[in-house]
Structure 1
Amino acid sequence: MDVDEIVAIDVHTHAHRSVHETAHDGDGNDDMGQYFGIGTMPHYSVPELASYYRERKMAAVVFTVDSISQSGEDPVPGNLEIAELSAEHRDVLIPFASVDPARGKAGVEMARRLIEDHGVRGFKFHPSVQAFYPNDRLAYPLYELIEEHGLVALFHSGQTGVGAGTPGGGGVRLKYANPLHLDDVAVDFPGMDIIIAHPSFPWQDEALSVATHKPRVYIDLSGWSPKYFPPQLVQYANTLLKDKMLFGSDFPVITPERWMRDFERLELKPEVRPLLLKENAARLFGLRGTADAG
């Protein structure tokens, strides 16, 4: 991946369809489609997502969510499919994996194979969907592995569109997604880079506090149109956290075009925009341009 040739790095996208499935839209995740006001939820395979971002001269982190302890099913597409297909599209895709902490030792071994044999660059956790607090010792063996290999752990935070509007919220409990729980993780794993995903409604101040206090904690700006960002988030993006904020869309529920259009209207310093769109993520993932490689 040549960062000189791309205009942005989207650190938060989802693949919802396996290449082994017949093309379809909307027979899953429809609650999220309604929540985000897009109606039927589109499903993209990894190659389709790569083509989408290549056309826009962007790179993207791509993952699924493993919540087998709650759903009883392996994610589709699986981690292995995402890793193998991302390798075929390495010019635009950065593969992350997702392992439900409830898998225990088997999950740690799964994660190890994904790292050592398939080159994943980080792991996505969704505490509300996986029903665990991020500082639960159950997850610590996974964090030890991630830290050992110098990879990134990305955590959903705040309210979620998963289960929104369904009876009982689909059984999803929001309490697990308070970003303050990540403060313990940052203390106990000081060598692990952590991304707090999304504006963390209703815990935005907690997220800003953790990211300001802990040097390896970042915030991605996915899942919300920038026009809805709370004022304190924009203030910190302009100042104390300008080197630790990351562009993310949450594609396909929000397109990068919509996010970028509203991002242009934010009152940000000119020198801050390229940091958020590309430079911070490039530094975090150790990506280099042609000039750097020379």
Structure 2
Amino acid sequence: MRPRDIPVIDTMLGVPLKEDRSDWFNFFKPLLRDKESLSQFSMPAQYMFRNIPNADGIDDLPGWTVSEMDRFGIAKALIGYVEGSPLNDIVRDRFADRFFFDMPVDPNGGVDVIRAIRRAHAEVGIKAISVFPCGCVPQVPINDKRMWPVYTTACELDIPVLVNVGVPGPRVPMAPQHVELVDEVCYFFPELKFVMRHGAEPWEELAVKLMLKYPNLYYSTSAFAPKHYPKAIIDFANTRGADKILYAGYFPMGLSLERIFTDMDAVPFKDHVWPKFLHENARRVFQLD
């Protein structure tokens, strides 16, 4: 059972500004084709999740988010930075000690994306860049030449890049996120800190082999309830990979913190893994000191 005295660092959390959070997913809506995804889902992978958190009737959504973090011992959380969003000022004015930013990007934007990353790093100190290859419009494979400037910039700024890997939840083609594509990126960018997001399934054993191979390759547990953490990942954390696995939730996009932390107690991590998984690895990789 996990220790209760570890201050948790969550490496994927959302702070809603309004009850309808569909704008979080609108960027890749042009890729969707089936009627259910387009007209019935409140989020594009809704068929995979039960009891998605509901914030209806809550006036202070950022405050509600922080109160939920307090309930479950989350000291800090990584959230997405969007240029011009009022959330940026809310976080810095009210909750600067509770959040740090990653910047989601679509590499199709070319050099404008690189300029935006550099601005965000200079102005707010973003701690990471994130990319959803299957959600880019058009899609961008993990090892595509359009990704190369993003990886180069991450190396120059000495910040990690967070990349979705494995079969995506939304009903879009999966080829851009095949885990084998990570191999080429790590080969050409040995100093790049690359964090695999969203499971790597069904290639989680390949993800483990690649983490053994490359010292700067990591895995986060984003978008998975703990009862569904892949066995290969748990076994790796308990043996040679304790320094490689980072906790990430998916609140409130798909999972409640109550569901996550109730399930967490049954995860069979060894005692020495828990502080690294919940806190130390994230502090090191994102240079939070």
- TM exceeding 0.5: yes
1:24 aligns with 2:19: yes
Contact 1:80 1:114 in 2 (8 A): no
User: Equivalent residue for 1:112?
Assistant: 118
Q: CA offset at residue 25 of structure 1?
A: 3.2
1:37 aligns with 2:50: yes
Give the ranges of 4+ consecutive aligned residues of structure 1 lying more than 6 Å apart after TM superposition.
none
Contact 1:234 1:268 in 2 (8 A): yes
Give matches, 1:1-294, under 5 Å.
7-15=7-15, 17=16, 19=17, 23-25=18-20, 27=22, 29-38=42-51, 48-58=64-74, 59-63=76-80, 78-81=82-85, 82-88=87-93, 89-130=95-136, 131-162=139-170, 169=171, 172-252=172-252, 253-288=254-289
Contact 1:10 1:60 in 2 (8 A): yes
SS of aligned partner of 2:143: coil
Q: CA offset at residue 41 of structure 1?
A: 6.5
Moved more, 24-33 or 274-283: 24-33
SS of aligned partner of 1:13: coil
- The 1:45–1:158 alpha-carbon spacing in structure 2 relative to 1, beyond 3 Å, is farther
- The 1:90–1:6 alpha-carbon spacing in structure 2 relative to 1, beyond 3 Å, is farther
Unaligned 5+ runs, structure 1: 65-77, 163-168, 289-294
- The 1:283–1:26 alpha-carbon spacing in structure 2 relative to 1, beyond 3 Å, is closer
- The 1:120–1:12 alpha-carbon spacing in structure 2 relative to 1, beyond 3 Å, is same
SS of aligned partner of 1:206: helix
Count residues with an aligned counterpart.
258
Distance 2:8 2:44 in 1: 29
Unaligned 5+ runs, structure 2: 24-41
Aligned letter for 1:111? I
Once the two structures are superposed, residues 230-252 of structure 1 have per-residue CA deviations (whole angstroms, 9 ceiling, x without a partner) of 32221101111111100111211
- The 1:141–1:84 alpha-carbon spacing in structure 2 relative to 1, beyond 3 Å, is farther
* TM-score normalized with structure 2 length: 0.80
SS of aligned partner of 2:11: strand
Distance 2:150 2:22 in 1: 32
Once the two structures are superposed, residues 250-291 of structure 1 have per-residue CA deviations (whole angstroms, 9 ceiling, x without a partner) of 211123332222222122211111111111111222234xxx
Q: CA offset at residue 48 of structure 1?
A: 4.7
SS of aligned partner of 2:13: strand
Once the two structures are superposed, residues 175-213 of structure 1 have per-residue CA deviations (whole angstroms, 9 ceiling, x without a partner) of 111222122222222222111013211111121122121
SS of aligned partner of 1:154: strand
Contact 1:204 1:233 in 2 (8 A): yes
Distance 1:175 1:42 in 2: 34
Moved more, 255-264 or 44-53: 44-53
State the structure with bigger RCO (CA 8 A, min sep 6), 1 or 2: 2
Q: CA offset at residue 30 of structure 1?
A: 3.1
Distance 1:9 1:101 in 2: 27
Contact 1:36 1:161 in 2 (8 A): no
Contact 1:34 1:40 in 2 (8 A): no
Aligned letter for 1:25? D
Contact 2:55 2:61 in 1 (8 A): no
SS of aligned partner of 1:97: strand
Contact 1:11 1:247 in 2 (8 A): yes
User: Equivalent residue for 1:165?
Assistant: none
* TM-score normalized with structure 1 length: 0.79
- The 1:287–1:249 alpha-carbon spacing in structure 2 relative to 1, beyond 3 Å, is same
- The 1:34–1:264 alpha-carbon spacing in structure 2 relative to 1, beyond 3 Å, is same
Distance 1:145 1:90 in 2: 25
- The 1:267–1:125 alpha-carbon spacing in structure 2 relative to 1, beyond 3 Å, is same
